[in-house]
Amino acid sequence: MSQLPPSIGPVTPTAPGPLAVRVREPSIGLFYWVVTRLSADEHTADQRVEASDHPYPTHEAAMEAGAACLKALKSAGFELQPAL
């Protein structure tokens, strides 16, 4: 999957909360997108749903790819919950 550190948490598609796309830059000039399910509790970490398996050269390119993944999850019927 991704070369990102596992600090975002395990994949849990049944957990409540809206999805978000984030871009991380673990090394200078290497951008990775991550789709996370936002936690309703501020003391609980957000949970990773999907992440890029290779770096992108720009923040914009990574965000564009992450947004495409989010749209694909939605069209595949992944259980999305609206943001409050």
Q: Is residue 83 part of a domain?
A: no
The string of pLDDT tens digits covering residues 25-63 is 999 999 999 999 888 878 888 888 899 999 999 999 999
- Which pLDDT does position 60 carry in this prediction? 98
If you write DSSP's letter for every residue of 5-73 in order, what string do you get? -GGG----TTS-S-EEEEEEEEETTEEEEEEEEPPSSTTS--EEEEE-SS-BSSHHHHHHHHHHHHHHH
**pLDDT, greater one: 53 or 1:** 53
Number of domains in the chain: 1
Residues 6+ apart with CB under 8 A from 41: none
Contact 70/19 with Cβ under 8 angstroms? yes
Q: Is residue 80 part of a domain?
A: no
In this prediction, residue 11 has a pLDDT band, given cuts at 50, 70 and 90, of: very low
The string of pLDDT tens digits covering residues 56-83 is 999 999 999 999 999 988 887 665 544 4
Q: Is residue 69 part of a domain?
A: yes
- Edge-to-edge strands of the sheet including 47-51? 19-27, 30-37, 47-51
Structural domain harbouring 35? 6-75
Q: Is residue 81 part of a domain?
A: no
- Which pLDDT does position 19 carry in this prediction? 87
